[in-house]
Structure 1
Amino acid sequence: MQTLFYTWQNYRCAYDRLAPDGSPDGVPLLLLHPIGVGLSRTFWQRFCNEWYRTGQRNLIYNPDLLGCGESAMPQIAYYPLDWAKQLQYFLQTVIQTPVVLVVQGALLPVAIELAHRQPDLIRGLVMSGPPARTLLAKANPAWQQRVSWNLFNSPLGGGFYRYARRSQFLQSFSIRQLFATSDAVDSEWLAMLKEGSADLASRHAVFSFLAGFWRQDYTAKLATIAQPTLVAMGEQASSISRKGKTETPDERLHDYLACLPNSEGTKLPGRNVLPYEATTEFVRAIVPFVERLSG
């Protein structure tokens, strides 16, 4: 598989275009990876392998967001709207056809912004392990976000990132916050994070996320998403927010389905990174949804 590139706002951006053996069929998938120490488009490798192993024939576009993976890593504050504009350009100039957008976790605001900006090129959405709705219903104060960003964007932040990319920290964090079982935090996962965080410039995207630039009120924009939407929730889904910690996975799922006008939901084994920790079940759950949109 060869890494491909395009240029957006003078930045070099990387992506994979995956295809089945023979002629592709159905609506393409556009994958949106999570942001975190060492995370990039490689997060989706297990998913892509399983997708084709089950005989699916959709094209898959798997880009690196700016600041991640093999894309450029400028020292800037990244907002969800910035990444949405990057993906909008990618849709318009590279893919040039409607897609099913598959988004992981708290990168949901990027998917919301993209669907709002380019609804004609989004045929449907799959939301995997979205955050507690309370996190997307009230904006963090702008001054608080900037203070956090300035703190991270300092020598102190650089030191913290060096600590955070240590294998021991990554393993502990993954067990505490991401995976349902400690056994699922395997050597493949840790090696991926270690390799992905080797470039210290990868910290800017992570710190933008930690500064809370994604914490806006998306209630109105969620309610205007008319495309079919599938919400996949882990049976042991947890939250980073104090309010979110009190809700059950069923309550969170119901909260999203009540907000989205054309939606359905499913619960799967696992916690917060379903495409990686419950790959087989995740693929099995979304295949019928994608097939309906391909008809």
Structure 2
Amino acid sequence: MQHSAIATQFYSWNGYRCAYDVPHEGQGVPLVLIHPIGVGLSRQFWQRFNQAWVQAGHRNTIYNPDLLGCGESDMPRVAYYPIDWATQLQCFLQTVVKRPCILIAQGALSPVAIDLVNLQPDLVRGLILSGPPAWTLVTKTTSDLQHRIAWNLFDSPLGSAFYRYARRSQFLQRFSIRQLFASDHQVDANWLEMLQAGASDLDSRHAVFSFLSGFWRQDYRHRVAQIEQPTLVVLGEKASSISREGKPESLDQRLEDYLEAFPQVQGVKIPGRNVLPYESTLAFVDAIAAWLESSPISKA
């Protein structure tokens, strides 16, 4: 895999060192990227998107932070809630970006973006959700005790052993084909090498186990209803999801749920499955660009 030569920069939040980079400096409303959480995932997830966005001639400055517990940020042994990452990014907006931006959140990190908009609405001009989870998963609070029991199981020698197994190339390849990508051939060496490099530090398991423990499964309906910023929901045509009741959910229903919930929202379907900025990069760039061109938020 070709590693970016972009310099890593750091800021401090709650005594932790948090990493980010600026893949492109330009003009207009900046983009702030929120990477997904998973074995080996970090801000490097956005490399393909960043390159394609700039190559397409778009001039927005791009800010690409590592969430706490991921990439080059500190990795404390704590249970991470969405509000923790949102508060970290609030500090990032206040101290690094310092101007209204457009948030782009991948997958089940949508709750982090929702919390962030509620925390700091004056520094968010627009919101883009890439492959957000089934609406039923973010509209019902599950037991925090249940989450804590899962966390305590993961935060054990058994959990450490599982993580060592899960970061093996064969496991990552099987999981990616089964859960993330529409096309098997897209699960390439670049993807697998990125994940293995990101998971090389065993302390990266804490963020992953926090996600798997389900701390993000809360009822976000009230917080979503407060969001006045224009929002774009992008779904893959082969997006897979299971509702809370364990039933397959139709893509049209999934999109309609989001269109009904957000006050000012548009939706679009593009080729791909669940990791659109990586698997369907050009289509994802085009979808965002078209939305921005038709929206007043792109005018700084």
Q: What TM-score results when the alignment is normalised by the length of structure 2?
A: 0.95
Equivalent pair of 1:132/1:244 in contact (CA under 8 Å)? no
2:5 matches 1:5: no
User: Shift of the alpha carbon at 1:243?
Assistant: 3.5
- Give the corresponding residue for 1:90: 92
Aligned length: 292
Give the whole-Å Cα distance in 1 for the aligned partners of 2:32 and 2:121.
14
1:236 corresponds to:
238
8 Å CA contact 2:101, 2:124 repeated in 1: yes
1:120-199 equivalence runs, <5 A: 120-199=122-201
What root-mean-square deviation, in Å, do the aligned CA atoms of Structure 1 and Structure 2 show? 1.0
2:228, 2:264 within 8 Å by CA — same for their partners in 1?
yes
Contact map agreement 2:232 2:291 (CA 8 A) in 1: yes
Deviation at 1:26, TM superposition (A): 1.3
Amino acid at match of 2:298: S
Moved more, 232-241 or 174-183: 232-241
Q: Which amino acid aligns with 1:285?
A: A
Match of 1:225 in 2: 227
In structure 2, the CA distance between the partners of 1:116 and 1:58, relative to structure 1 (3 Å rule), is: same
2:204 is paired with a residue of what secondary structure? Answer: helix
Q: Which amino acid aligns with 1:294?
A: S
SS in structure 2 of the partner of residue 271 of structure 1:
coil
Aligned position for 1:59: 61
SS in structure 1 of the partner of residue 37 of structure 2: coil
| Post-superposition offset of 1:290 | 2.8
**Would the aligned equivalents of 1:64 and 1:71 in 2 still touch at CA under 8 Å?**
yes
Q: Is the 8 A contact 2:79 2:207 kept in 1?
A: yes
Look up the match of 2:3: none
Q: How many Å apart are 1:242 and its aligned residue?
A: 5.3
For the residues of structure 1 that align with 2:156 and 2:117, how far apart are their CA atoms? 34
| Offset at residue 18 of structure 1 (A) | 2.4
**3-state DSSP class of the match of 2:64?**
strand
Residue deviations 1:88-118, cap 9 Å, x none? 0000111100000000000011001000110
Aligned to 1:16: 21
2: CA distance, partners of 1:217 / 1:242: 13
- For the residue of structure 2 that corresponds to 1:198, the secondary structure is coil
DSSP-derived class of the 1:275 partner: helix
- The CA deviation string for residues 151-196 of structure 1, in whole angstroms up to 9 with x for no partner, is 0000000000001001111000001100001111111000000000
Map Cα deviations across residues 63-83 of structure 1 (whole Å, 9 max, x no partner). Answer: 000000000000000000000
Q: Is the 8 A contact 2:38 2:208 kept in 1?
A: yes
Residue equivalent to 2:42: 40
**What amino acid is aligned across from residue 107 of structure 2 in structure 1?**
G
Choose the corresponding residue for 1:251, options 250, 253, 259: 253
Q: Deviations over 1:229-263 (max 9, x none)?
A: 00000001111555465211111011100101100
Cα distance change, pair 188–150 in 1 and its aligned pair in 2 (3 A): same
* Deviation digits for residues 112-139 of structure 1 (CA, Å, limit 9, x no counterpart): 1000110110100000000000000111
Percent identical residues: 64
Residues of 1 paired with 2:187 and 2:209: CA distance? 23
3-state DSSP class of the match of 1:233?
strand
The CA deviation at 1:46 is 0.2
Structure 2 unaligned spans of 5+: 1-5
Task: Output one character per residue of 1:6-38: Cα deviation in whole Å (capped at 9) or x when no partner.
Answer: 111110000011225xxx221000000000000
Alpha-carbon displacement from aligned partner over 1:43-65 (angstroms, at most 9, x marks no partner): 00000000000011000000000
Contact 2:136 2:244 in 1 (8 A): no
Q: Look up the SS of the partner of 1:246 in the other structure.
A: coil
